[in-house]
Structure 1
């Protein structure tokens, strides 16, 4: 197997894949019908597969998060190194490497390892953390955080900006350092040292200048949350209280953090003892005293308030009383609506929506509430209210929905529908052509389209060409003569040819097309490309039976 596959990987990924292969962390390599598969070992085991046709790699897959983001990962590279060695030399490189290592003395091994570690800070950190004999201290924590902080320079360059293209490389490097650093601490029950690393890592994640549109922040935050879970559960009561105090301090600024939801989630998931819940509940009560800004943050706080009451085993009556005393707020109405819908109480939901609709001043929101009301009226089988809502949406809010038009027509008698249709046509300009078409009012449709852009006429041309051939051919002839005056280019001539053929396809249209062609050939004798196109078209028409 040739090594052309190497161009599929970035150099840093290729190097890490080589390291995995040479350290024997890729095994169970076996041939498949489409290529090769294997298992890559590390913090987790990942299934890797490659698809090969002849000498070419045609596809690869891996179960690691980096690959799930659509990237070619180090595990894929490791498998391909293994496959290349298997094809070239059935004796594995790991066996050859072992032979070499056996022949080296301790001094040589130490010298080579030291040189490698001096040039690879991540590997150096892994060795220091995994094989240290003393407990981790703040010097260890600061060194690890320095590694994490320097990733923005190492991967982002001088600007320290992690672009979209490098986002998942950053994620993988960040997660590797976390794993190499926190895992040994957890194994040694060094909970506060591990928590100090995770605190610093969380700050670095929220401060890094990264595109993040591929979900990179969330991916790293999830890794940190998984370690929080393990560390908090290992912590003593005193340590747990210290961790709680940090989360509470961070909660106060969570709105300004990219990953602020992680703080909220940790407080909700890991601190259910009364001594933790009651201070949070007290703070929330204080926050909800006095006047409130009526926005979605209030809705979020009220949901959190209710959740704290439930978790602490408190009576929900105080929450319900708060809602009752503030039911003039939109946020409260949205909560009451959600709760009514959750109970399946359509009548209560209708009452709340009607109140929201009547009090709302913004037209777009009023329309939204009316559409929600329409759905509720349908659920309750209130035909008259459905008709009323449809009428307002079509005539007052001028929604361009033929589905609404047809539904309204199905609910009206002929006299009602005639009056409704005329009003809709008078006030809702965007619906005119579709209503004319749906109602088979072709005279009105043709008259309307004669004054509209050609793109709109094109939509209905096939339906109208046999009904109104003279009017339609006149429309297209005028359009063609109008665009012929523009500055000539090949795109214009292609458009003219297209519409000449459209005109010729209308009964009686060929004669009008020929008249236009003759006039243009006389009018634009210097437009050579145009003249050639016109001669070709005229010849085609003359060859028709």
Structure 2
């Protein structure tokens, strides 16, 4: 069975997006295990047990997987594994996450047909398709009908889906039936108009499956009814609160607009205009949950921009995007982060219409009281090869007291590069110092760039300014290592005494301060032992002790320490068992 069937459709889609966005890191594959870290709201550890290419078990540290669910992080890792040509994975039979009775291959193939073109490198295995096609081909009509009847008789939801697939005439009764099915899905998942985290995955999968059945029925005869049904679905989504920690909501919004996009070829020019106006009205939708508002807005705007590309709609899109820019400009947050993207969308449409560059720049400049818009305006001037105006805009934003620190940092970085490009050495050096002393403290690449501007005899004096500034920074150790100031490096590591830092500079400390290195490790393992957090912490202690034994003077040092612990912690059975494994 294809491993993709271990995941619900919307989870699989989200996993593919994570893979595409290069969120899978530290991927390691052995004959029995796959491990990786997936970057998300936090960094999540994924482990997948395999045997002879068959997935045995999967785990992830995310909340969704804590309830024994197969999550998007697991899917992302499996997509990443497909880059390894020698690794062909499959799932155990009868472990599908697709709906009972659902034609898994057909739905999976539809999903792959929609998604795989956007994810180069992913391939489909035809084995399951070939087997099923052969089974169906060899079955006579009576056997198929009897088997189908036995399945439909036991599953009312599947009966509704089968009816939707086989009714070819759009009637008022069918439209009402579709709405009743939508109401059922919402009612089964939510209580008091709220869908909690436990029910969110079920709800998303059910509604996605229903929408998929609509998608399969698109034709000239059904277009009007499907549009009304999707509109009804969106209105229900917009009036329901839901815990969307797993991100399924975006898939539903996006799928709804995908379906409407497929209806457009069956519409007259007049009806296409009505659908445009319908999508524009979705932009005015508001909800107490800001995330829902942003998701609905983003999907509606992308639909408008992608599905109405012709010149006939260009003026309407310009009017619409200008309205969105004005709406974003009225926001009162500390630094309007949405506004630049809204402006950029509008300016791209201005370019399509053939508006001169001066007019485009003037439009952006209306909102340059925001530092983020100044960055956008400077990018526009750079694209026009107008470095003088780009520098002027950035200098204004950098000097303004109201500019947030992260915007000031970006302004300073861009100014540095522009001054270097225009050979303004004095201002280039000033930006380097600003970045090194106040903005990008402890950035070793920046440090090296600044160092390259001075002769060796000059630099020894100049570097003390940075050493003083970086002195309390927890990452200043890299500077001391760079300058071979090993006495200061030792003091720095002793002050913070973090395992990661001790390991980072172990080779330097081992060569120059072997006794102090052992003492640092002793301090770290002693702290872990005192906390007594159970077997995982004891395994960590033993791993460090093995490292200590390989250091000069390490064996007797470790022996003495372990002997002390055997007396002090003799009641900790797990600790004693792990110490017995020390070799």
Offset of residue 64 of structure 1: 6.3
**138-147 or 248-257: which moved more?**
248-257
Distance in 2 of aligned mates of 1:304 and 1:488? 53
Distance in 1 of aligned mates of 2:542 and 2:426? 53
Preserved CA contact (<8 Å) 1:167 1:211:
no
**Distance change >3 Å, CA 280–CA 200, structure 1 → 2:** farther
- For 1:246, the equivalent position in structure 2 comes to 278
1:203-282 superposed matches below 5 A: 203-207=235-239, 216-229=248-261, 231-253=263-285, 256=293, 258-268=295-305, 269-270=307-308, 277=315, 281=319
- For 2:442, the equivalent position in structure 1 comes to 400
- Determine whether 1:122 maps to 2:185: no
**Distance change >3 Å, CA 233–CA 298, structure 1 → 2:** same
Could you list the runs of 5+ residues in structure 1 that have no partner in the other structure? 21-39, 48-60, 102-108, 541-545
**Distance change >3 Å, CA 281–CA 307, structure 1 → 2:** farther
- Among 373, 392, 395, the residue aligned to 1:354: 395
- Determine whether 1:437 maps to 2:469: no
Distance in 1 of aligned mates of 2:569 and 2:343? 77
- For 2:102, the equivalent position in structure 1 comes to 16
- For 1:31, the equivalent position in structure 2 comes to none
- Determine whether 1:97 maps to 2:143: yes
Deviations 1:442-477 (A, max 9, x none): 233334444441624444343333434455556667
Preserved CA contact (<8 Å) 1:251 1:263:
yes
- For 1:424, the equivalent position in structure 2 comes to 466
**Aligned-residue RMSD, C-alpha:** 5.4
Preserved CA contact (<8 Å) 1:141 1:193:
yes
**305-314 or 238-247: which moved more?**
305-314
Distance in 2 of aligned mates of 1:487 and 1:286? 57
**Distance change >3 Å, CA 364–CA 507, structure 1 → 2:** same
Preserved CA contact (<8 Å) 2:152 2:159:
no
**Distance change >3 Å, CA 506–CA 387, structure 1 → 2:** same
**Distance change >3 Å, CA 338–CA 279, structure 1 → 2:** closer
- Determine whether 1:453 maps to 2:490: no
Preserved CA contact (<8 Å) 2:398 2:408:
yes
Deviations 1:183-231 (A, max 9, x none): 2xx1x3x764454334223334545666666664454545544543454
Offset of residue 428 of structure 1: 0.6
Q: TM-score of the superposition, structure 2-length normalised?
A: 0.62
Deviations 1:45-89 (A, max 9, x none): 949xxxxxxxxxxxxx965659999xxx9x998765556x59xxx
- Among 199, 208, 212, the residue aligned to 2:231: 199
- Determine whether 1:143 maps to 2:177: yes
Preserved CA contact (<8 Å) 2:375 2:411:
no
Could you list the runs of 5+ residues in structure 2 that have no partner in the other structure? 2-90, 288-292
Preserved CA contact (<8 Å) 2:200 2:242:
yes
Offset of residue 525 of structure 1: 10
- Determine whether 1:163 maps to 2:200: yes
**Distance change >3 Å, CA 347–CA 15, structure 1 → 2:** same
Offset of residue 325 of structure 1: 5.2
Distance in 1 of aligned mates of 2:387 and 2:435? 21
Preserved CA contact (<8 Å) 1:374 1:389:
yes
**Distance change >3 Å, CA 273–CA 354, structure 1 → 2:** closer
**Distance change >3 Å, CA 160–CA 354, structure 1 → 2:** closer
**92-101 or 446-455: which moved more?**
92-101
Distance in 1 of aligned mates of 2:395 and 2:109? 55
Task: Say which structure is richer in helix.
Answer: 1
Distance in 1 of aligned mates of 2:355 and 2:578? 84
Preserved CA contact (<8 Å) 1:281 1:309:
no
Corresponding pairs, count: 472
**Distance change >3 Å, CA 157–CA 507, structure 1 → 2:** same
Which SS does the other structure have where 2:484 is aligned? coil
Offset of residue 176 of structure 1: 0.5
**Distance change >3 Å, CA 509–CA 179, structure 1 → 2:** closer
**Distance change >3 Å, CA 196–CA 422, structure 1 → 2:** same
Preserved CA contact (<8 Å) 2:525 2:544:
yes
Preserved CA contact (<8 Å) 1:433 1:448:
yes
